[in-house]
Structure 1
Amino acid sequence: MSRPISYRRSASERFGSISKGILLIVVCSLVIVPFMGIVSTSLATPEQVVRSGGFVLFPEGIDLTAYRSIFVGGVVTRSLLVSVFVTGVGTALSLALTATLGWALARKGSFGNRQLLLLVLITLLFNPGLIPSYLVVQQLGLLNSLWALIIPTSVSAFNVIVVRAFFVGLPGEIIDAARIDGASEWQLFRYIGAPLSRAVLTVVGLFYGVGYWNSFFNALLYISDSSMWPLQLVLRTYVVDDAQLGAQDLGTRDEALPPQTSIQMAILVTAIIPILLVYPFLQRHFAKGMLTGAVKG
């Protein structure tokens, strides 16, 4: 006669659950509280910002002066447009190159397949270095061009390997049936490979988009004209380097400027919000895309 199953948890199990809950609350607080402080400081009134020493966690009122100042015109608005262009065009170009290269590497027996795959793996293991990269960009005539922020990082070897792993895992019967029907290699990719790889391409596109949006080092190296700086380089200049934004930079003439801290936090929020808005729409593809190639059956 079998013994009844007891559903009562022991004291050690309850202690473990409570400890995990406390740890989760602490970790979430470490992430949420600074973000709340950034948003609150950007929305607080100038008097409260000055009175609190530059950091406000709970604003007494909503004041949009800092946001009006940075969006009226000038360097912040221009840099935001540059970042949007670089992220949009760069992500589209990177997805196209990564998807087609991954498909080519997945076609075993194609011309130069092994040699090309070896070249991709070499770039994954060895970095060319700062000076050679700069010399290549200079020789291509891309200095002080927005394409210098796109072309040098347009293909990631890691993303190519992820996409290739997905294409290798496609059932061979589907490819063979399409070939019998007379489909060309481009038609195989367009009507079979690309539609079936929507999840993994969404995740790879998210990686590329976040990379382009958050990148500032390439602009620091290749762009000397401040009118072509992306938002992240402006953010670094005015927040990390603690440079001062004046009326000529913000495009405001009539009203008094808010505290420098409020302006810095407003720029920081402007740089964070676009990624936070895009991610929820891509979240459902994230887990599926990340597990691509991990399970074979």
Structure 2
Amino acid sequence: MKTLRKALALLFPTLLSLTVWLPILLIVGGSFMGVAELLEDLGPVLAGEEGFARWSLLPQYPTLRPYVELLLDSPQFFVMFWNSVKLAGGILLGQLLVGAPAAWGFARWKGKLQNLLFTVYIVLMLMPFQVTMVSNYLVLDGLSLLDTHLGIILPAAFSTFPVFIMYRFFCGIPGAVLESASLDGANELQVFLYIGVPLGGAGIMSAMVLGFLEYWNMIEQPLTFLHERTLWPLSLFLPTIVADKAGLSLAASVITLLPAILIFMLGQRYLEAGIKAAGLKE
């Protein structure tokens, strides 16, 4: 009976994991299919043919042609890939330089307005992009930053979400440690750099990992602020799917997923350590 309960307890998360991974497995399998096989399976969806679409987990006639065409015959893919790297890297650097000091200030400052200001931060975090899109557009237009990568980086660099995450981890640092550093003669900047950043590093890395996963795949901001296609990130390479280029799009989807999966795998231990750091008590 005990073994049966353990098996049933593992059954649900196993099924849930398979459900989550199934679309990715289908995309990977489809990226190795030829045009004829894709049209045979997805013709009713992509080509307007009669009947029902179907999808095979494994290709019947595997081919590397979609990857060859993407990596050797699609120079715009590499331009958009580099644009994604610049945008995501610039945003994360900005969030690190702006968000970490802001989170430290909220965690250390215990004035009367601290709760009010932090509440305002939370409200701003809850606002979706669609709410602030028009105001952002007008400000960027006034600063002549439309159709530039800086116009995407600057608004995102001042995002409140990483501040919220880092703040929670900075609050988990024992106050006795900070007081000891102050008694030893360290100023606030030294306490932040030599104690706050190392002890709150898990929170900083957590914010960076989550930020990368968000901004690597962003679509709405580039569509709104970038009219020049040569400035578009990789996320805008994927929505255009036509019947004869379905394999190319699936191969691009797989390659687009790889950096996100790699960053998540490398940052997973920081996320776990960050959860533990948030539970520190004096």
Q: TM-score range by the shorter chain?
A: 0.7 to 0.9
Structure showing greater radius of gyration is 1
Q: 1:286 aligns with which of 255, 266, 271?
A: 271
What's 2:205 paired with?
A: 202
In structure 2, what is the Cα distance between the partners aligned to 1:86 and 1:200? 22
What's 1:90 paired with?
A: 91
C-alpha deviation, 1:175, in angstroms:
2.0
Q: 2:259 aligns with which of 265, 271, 274?
A: 274
Structure 2 CA distance for partners of 1:141 and 1:49, relative to 1, 3 Å:
same
What's 2:160 paired with?
A: 157
What's 1:102 paired with?
A: 103
CA contact (8 A) 2:95 2:158 kept: yes
CA contact (8 A) 1:49 1:56 kept: no
Once the two structures are superposed, residues 78-110 of structure 1 have per-residue CA deviations (whole angstroms, 9 ceiling, x without a partner) of 111100111122112212211111111122257
What's 2:65 paired with?
A: 65
In structure 1, what is the Cα distance between the partners aligned to 2:31 and 2:168? 45
What's 1:221 paired with?
A: 224
CA contact (8 A) 2:67 2:248 kept: yes
In structure 2, what is the Cα distance between the partners aligned to 1:169 and 1:24? 31
In structure 2, what is the Cα distance between the partners aligned to 1:31 and 1:155? 32
In structure 2, what is the Cα distance between the partners aligned to 1:57 and 1:39? 9
The yes-or-no answer on 1:81 pairing with 2:82 is yes
TM-score, normalisation: structure 1? 0.79
What's 1:124 paired with?
A: 125
Once the two structures are superposed, residues 125-176 of structure 1 have per-residue CA deviations (whole angstroms, 9 ceiling, x without a partner) of 5565332222122222210011122211223323312322222332223222
Structure 2 CA distance for partners of 1:51 and 1:124, relative to 1, 3 Å:
closer
Give the letter aligned to residue 43 of structure 1.
F
C-alpha deviation, 1:177, in angstroms:
2.5
Aligned to 2:237, what secondary structure does the other structure show?
Answer: helix
Supply the RMSD in Å over aligned alpha carbons: 2.7
What's 2:181 paired with?
A: 178
In structure 1, what is the Cα distance between the partners aligned to 2:201 and 2:155? 25
TM-score, normalisation: structure 2? 0.83
What's 1:26 paired with?
A: 15
C-alpha deviation, 1:56, in angstroms:
4.0
C-alpha deviation, 1:50, in angstroms:
4.0
How many percent of aligned residue pairs carry the same amino acid? 25
Give the letter aligned to residue 87 of structure 1.
A
In structure 1, what is the Cα distance between the partners aligned to 2:40 and 2:111? 69
Aligned residues: 268
Query: More helix per residue: 1 or 2?
Result: 2
C-alpha deviation, 1:38, in angstroms:
0.9
CA contact (8 A) 2:202 2:273 kept: yes
C-alpha deviation, 1:212, in angstroms:
0.9
CA contact (8 A) 2:173 2:281 kept: no
Structure 2 CA distance for partners of 1:172 and 1:18, relative to 1, 3 Å:
closer
Q: 1:137 aligns with which of 137, 140, 152?
A: 140
